[in-house]
């Protein structure tokens, strides 16, 4: 525990902090292997951060309430350029900030400004990434009292997939997502810098709904843990290409209800030869792009997506970090 007075003294001299990048993630491999006694699901996943994401800035410490923000208690405020983002205590930025204050004794007022680009309800980890960006920014502002392990513990208490964003590259996730390891270096070379297209229909998918549906229809959607581990081991050993490795068994429940998803992925495979999958619980999907694909080809793919999903479809090209 860091004493409240110590944090206040450091914070008094740190009224601004450079904006923190908050990346989106995609799940190249996501195997839900079963349900645990505590109600959570056991999983094995390879998740990668991408160069597309949000920006989170600390506007003030020890100052006023800031601009268009709403209070979370008396201490922390948040403003966002997306009116769909909640600004109360349900927002993971404010939940992470409250956890940080409880762990360190931070007593100063904190105001965040979130520039939102990651779509909501997409399975791209936007809220979790924002929470970790807040933890990192706060830890820097008050002189770094928490080491990486303690930050990971706080992140895991906020959300199952938060800890992955403390890593600056591809990771393996186990447990409910809170147990995280870097992907072996040999496999990282297959990933870093790979171009990918991320696209989302105008609707989102509730993560809670998707997991509940899997549990209700178990065990037909689950992948045995031994098989999941074998697939990951084969890929990390270089026995399987990344395109062949792509997998997500949450697609089963999502595709049965949202037929627009499998329809489009089939079109992308048949017409453009793309390896495409859903990320997380959806509704965002992604496709790995060949390194030599020209921009005009990418534009044609994006146009096809919007033709099938409507003008409200979100499409962006990015790279794996």
Query: Which residues are tagged catalytic?
Result: 25, 161
The owner of tokens 């983002």 is 85
Take residue 34 and report the two structure tokens written for it.
């079963």
Take residue 48 and report the two structure tokens written for it.
């990668």
Work out whether strand 76-80 and strand 110-115 pair parallel, antiparallel, or are unpaired.
parallel
| DSSP helix/strand/coil, 195 | strand
What does the angle CA 161 – CA 164 – CA 170 come to, to the nearest 5 degrees? 130
Work out whether strand 179-182 and strand 285-288 pair parallel, antiparallel, or are unpaired.
unpaired
CB 158 within 8 A of CB 92: yes
The region, left, alpha or beta by phi > 0 then psi within -120 to 50, assigned to residue 270 is: alpha
């Amino acid at each position: 525990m860091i004493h409240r007075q110590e944090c206040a003294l450091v914070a008094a001299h740190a009224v601004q902090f450079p904006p923190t990048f908050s990346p989106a993630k995609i799940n190249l491999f996501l195997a839900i292997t079963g349900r645990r006694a505590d109600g959570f699901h056991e999983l094995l996943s390879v998740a990668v951060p991408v160069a597309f994401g949000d920006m989170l800035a600390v506007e003030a410490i020890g100052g006023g309430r800031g601009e268009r923000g709403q209070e979370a208690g008396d201490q922390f405020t948040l403003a966002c350029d997306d009116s769909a983002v909640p600004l109360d205590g349900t927002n993971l930025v404010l939940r992470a900030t409250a956890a940080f204050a409880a762990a360190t004794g931070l007593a100063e007022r904190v105001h965040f400004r979130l520039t939102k680009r990651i779509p909501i309800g997409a399975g791209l980890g936007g809220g979790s990434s924002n929470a970790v960006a807040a933890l990192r920014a706060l830890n820097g502002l008050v002189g770094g009292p928490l080491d990486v392990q303690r930050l990971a513990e706080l992140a895991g208490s906020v959300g199952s997939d938060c800890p992955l964003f403390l890593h600056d590259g591809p990771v393996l996730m186990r447990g409910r997502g809170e147990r995280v390891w870097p992907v072996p270096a040999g496999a990282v070379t297959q990933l870093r810098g790979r171009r990918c297209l991320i696209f989302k229909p105008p609707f989102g998918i509730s993560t809670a709904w998707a997991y509940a549906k899997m549990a209700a229809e178990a065990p037909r959607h689950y992948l045995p843990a031994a098989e999941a581990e074998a697939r990951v081991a084969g890929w990390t050993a270089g026995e399987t290409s990344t395109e062949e490795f792509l997998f997500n068994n949450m697609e089963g429940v999502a595709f049965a209800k949202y037929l627009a998803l499998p329809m489009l992925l089939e079109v992308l495979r048949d017409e453009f030869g793309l390896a495409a999958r859903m990320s997380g619980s959806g509704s965002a999907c992604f496709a790995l792009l060949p390194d030599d694909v020209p921009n005009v080809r990418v534009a044609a793919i994006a146009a096809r997506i919007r033709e099938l999903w409507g003008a409200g479809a979100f499409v962006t090209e990015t790279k794996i970090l």
